[in-house]
Chains A and B, each alone.
Chain A
Amino acid sequence: MSPCFNGLVMVSGGMHIPLVLEGPSPKTISTIGGLHQMLGLHEYGYAAVPRDSIQCLPECSSTNKMGASFETPCGRSLIKPVEYIEMISSMRPNLWTTLADEVPAWVSDKRNKTSVDRTVKWLDECIAKSPVNVAGGAVFGSIVGGSTIEERQRCAQEVAVRNVSGYWIGGFGLGESMDERPPLLNTVTDKLPEGKATPYFWALDYQNLMNLLEKPDIYIILLKGRFIVVEEILQGVAAGVDLFDSVKDTTPIVEGCSCYTCKNHTKAYINHLLNVHEMLAQILLEIHNTHHYLGFFHSIREAIKEGKFEQFQKKFVQSRRDHLAASVTSV
Chain B
Amino acid sequence: MAYKPQYGPGTSIVAQNRRNQMNPGHELEKLRSVTDEDVVLILGHRAPGAAYPTAHPPLAEQQEPEDPMRKIVKPTDGAKAGDRVRYVQFADSMFNAPSQPYQRTYAEMYRFRAIDSGTLSGRQIVECRERDLDQYAKFLIETEMFDPATVGIRGATVHGHSLRLAEDGMMFDALQRCVLGDDGVVKYVKDQVGVPLDRPVDVGKPMNEKWLKEHTTMFHSLVGTAFREDEEYIEYIQRIHTLRTKYGFMPKEE
- Decide if A and B are genuine partners: no
